[in-house]
Chains A and B, each alone.
Chain A
């Protein structure tokens, strides 16, 4: 079962918004929109697993951590995300990750 985790990303949100608009103009049914989202979940999960091959390191301070409903949520402050090529600094970042029973 693919995670619906990625629906709250730029990609996922824009898809949902687009679907909502189409629903409002009655061009598709909500049912169909749901199907699309499920399909999106699958596709994004597959794509991420197969198409992405880069590493990131990050360092920061942990502000909050939560593990609820099998989902970890962390709030970090003053984090540096470092990739081979470049560096991104953020003041605050939220990390959301579902517990994966199949993590290897």
Chain B
């Protein structure tokens, strides 16, 4: 279908990204900014592109980096990997979600994550996600650690921090980042999972509150077998961190459950869930362009905005399933011509965002009647 329009798209974008990154690398170095930051920029950039669904494709560099990192850290915690591997096998088949081709990387990711010095518990926790969660992306934080952004079947996204990291370089989970528990911070993941996996060492931040289940954790043998020894010590650390988090989260907790469903993954300002603000934004634009209509219609104008979304299914479901994208074309023109009320456009070098997807053209010719 229209999905296939402009297949070379991702490659083009990739090459543009590469070019830009390379060119700014010098700038970064001049400013004395670490290369890591550059990598982070790149990662963030690509992730947003992925999330926008406007472009397909997974960056090969990211894969390469992931592999490299996995190899480097593969030397650690082999014991954990043993436990993990059994789980790993489960994961890949379950992860056949069509959404991301990251499936292939699951084992590597898992190995990496398990190898990064995490205890078996954390590894297990990571692996324990299989039920309906497919790895979405790996993000390389400034510390070179790889976060795994998991995407649950229901569309929400979670971030697993294989290590202490922190922080939020993550655009996905603005909240709840314990300064660095050794245990993964799995938000809400465990709730749906339940199938026996849920309790992991370390911090489990459930929608309603931050719960430290360290005590329970170890006992859940299925995953944790070898984690026991390191458990207690980690728990203490984790408790401290959790407490901090709890304090921070105290205020946020009430609001969290409501928001948990959505914000953890991505603060979508635009999108199906937030048409009201969109309407305002659109309205502002429309006020300029459709003053006459707006003044006459008044509120009707706003009402038209929402129905517009549903009216979008002129042809495909694509029009519906994607958010309320105002289809925009930015380009340059060769010639614009008008005869009475007949307009002819000769455009060039443009990027279009139609129905949420990106298209590119070198030339476009159009007719319109006013």
Contacts and interface: CB of A to CB of B under 8 A. Distances in A.
A joins B in a complex? yes
Interface of A: 3, 5-6, 8-11, 13-15, 17-19, 21-22, 25, 27-29, 31-32, 35-36, 39-40, 42-49, 51-66, 72-76, 78-79, 81, 83, 85-100, 103-104
A9 B45 contact: no
Nearest to B34: A27
A36 B31 CA distance: 12
Contacts of A22: 37, 40-41, 44
Contacts, number: 239
B330 A58 contact: no
Contact of B52 (A14, A21, A91): A14
Contacts of A47: 12, 15-16, 19
B252 interface: no
B104 interface: no
B315 interface: yes
A25 to B, nearest CB: 7
A94 B288 CA distance: 13
A76 B368 contact: yes
Interface string B1-17: 11011101000110111
Interface of B: 1-2, 4-6, 8, 12-13, 15-17, 19-20, 23-24, 27-28, 31, 33-34, 37, 40-41, 44-45, 48-49, 52, 54-55, 142, 167-169, 171, 288-290, 308, 311-312, 314-316, 319, 326-336, 343, 345, 347-355, 358-370
B143 to A, nearest CB: 12
A104 B366 CA distance: 18
Contacts of A73: 289
A97 B332 contact: yes
A103 B332 contact: yes
B351 A48 contact: yes
B161 to A, nearest CB: 16
